[in-house]
Amino acid sequence: MLKKIVILLFVTCFACFNIVFAAESGGMPQLNPEFWISQIFWLIITFGILFIVLTKVILPKISDNLETRKSQILENIETADKQKEESQKKIDEYEKIILDSKLKAKSYFNQAREKILDDINKKRAALDKDLDEEIGEVEKELSDLKNKSGEKINKIAAETSAELIKELIGEEVNSSSIAAIVEDQSKINKERKDV
Amino acid sequence: MASNPMYQFNVYRIGPEIKLGSVDISFTNASLFMVISSLAILIIFNLGAKKKTLIPDKLQLLSELSYSFVAKMISDTAGSKAKPYFSFIFSLFMFVLFCNMFGMIPYAFTVTSHIIVTFVLAAFIFIGVTIIGFMKHGLGYLKLFVPSGVPMVLLPLIVVIEIISYLSRPISLSVRLFANMMAGHTMMKVFGGFVISLGIVGGWLPLSFSVALTGLEILVAFLQAYVFAILTCIYLNDALNLHH
């Protein structure tokens, strides 16, 4: 700014000096009115034509161009916004579907699990029942065997002792008396065992 | 003769003498450069406006940027009411800018370095703005000379000052442009003359100064066109909105 002022000062001084100096050779051509009218005339013509052509032809075109671009850009932004919204919607839907399917999968899993557990329980119960029955049968058999074994032993003992006696003395002994003796003996044995 | 720095401002007849009645309206070098500037504006902007592509090419971008530049300048200084005057201010800005810029070509004539040209433009603006002001506000336009909030004692003085400043608008507007252009071109011519007179030994300093001045003058050429246009907008704002 300061530099410009200095330069302009210098120039004005110079111009003043020059005007004075050049006054002898006709002065400033700007102040010579010889061609003033001609300049005004041509200024009006050229500027007038420029103004009319710019106003009527060129500026509306440029303004149209700018307007179409503006509206096009706005339109594009609008469509972009719309598409963004749509994609957001789609994403939401997708997430919902995933969430739903996850929940479904979980419920399926739970159902299957319960079913299997039920099955297992049922089978186990049936098995338990079977086992119990079998055990009962075996136990019964066992107790039968136990009960029968005493008698059988007694019978065998009586028979063997009868045979023995027969062999020893060659005389047949009443089997019922032998059985009574065996029974007594086994009772004594039992008592001994119990004691 | 050519060493006179004022010689470049001489107007001379090109072709035959044309007379309208007794008035000389011959085609001169000044007229030639007015025609060249106008044609250049029309050609550049027509080419720029021709193509209607969504993505602009260089010329289209240039014309559209100038359009929005002037539009923004007007809406910033004179508001939305000044829209009907857009094309005039655009033409004015472009005409002054191109005349200034063509003047920067060596041996070219600078149309705007003549007081008569700038004064006709400024006087036209002044008269136009005054007519617009009276048409919009009637006699209320005279309120422009009576600023609000001034004590009664000072009022006569202020009104006189306001009227003088209003009437001096065309003079200041025209002299600003004319003096800037003339001073710049004279200075460049003077330094150019120094280059020759100091020769190969001492001519480098004025030569470098001349180069720097060319840059400065191109800046001034743009700036003065801008100032001319923006002052027109401000005067228009006074006429349209009337809040002083």
Q: How many residue pairs from chains A and B have C-beta atoms closer than 8 A?
A: 150
Touching A: B residues 117-176, CB under 8 Å: 117, 120-121
Q: How far apart are CA B180 and CA A37, in angstroms?
A: 23
Pick from B51, B64, B43: nearest CA to A67: B64
Name which of A93-102, B121-130, B137-146 the model is least confident about.
Answer: B137-146
Q: Is the ipTM of this complex over 0.85?
A: yes
Flag whether residue B90 sits within 8 Å of chain A, measured between CB atoms: yes
Find residues 7-46 of chain A whose CB sits inside 8 Å of chain B: 7-8, 10-12, 14-15, 18-19, 22, 25, 27-32, 34-44, 46
CA distance B26 to chain A (A): 6
How far is CA B74 from its chain centroid?
16
The answer to whether A57 contacts B64, with C-beta atoms less than 8 Å apart, is: no
The count of other CB atoms within 10 Å of the CB of residue B128 is 16
| Nearest-neighbour CA in chain B from A79: distance (Å) | 17
pLDDT at A131 (0 to 100) = 93
Instruction: Report chain A residues whose CB lies below 8 A from the CB of B95.
Output: 47, 50
Q: Which residues make beta-bridge pairs with B103?
A: none
Q: Which of B224, B96, B181 is nearest to A11 (CA)?
A: B181
Residues present in chain A in total? 195
CA distances from B167 to B127, B160, B178 (A): 10, 11, 18
Chain B residues with CB under 8 Å of A7 CB are 187, 216
Secondary structure in 3-state letters for A82-131: HHHHHHHHHHHHHHHHHHHHHHHHHHHHHHHHHHHHHHHHHHHHHHHHHH
What is the separation, in whole angstroms, between the first and last Cα of chain A?
A: 139
pLDDT in tens, A129-175: 999 999 999 999 998 888 887 777 778 877 887 788 778 877 766 77
Q: Give B142-201 pLDDT, tens digit per residue.
A: 888 888 888 888 889 999 999 999 999 999 999 999 999 999 999 998 888 888 888 888
pLDDT-derived band at B124, boundaries 50, 70, 90? very high
Tokens of B84: 């009907």
**pLDDT tens track for A93-142:** 999 999 999 999 999 999 999 999 999 999 999 999 999 999 999 999 99
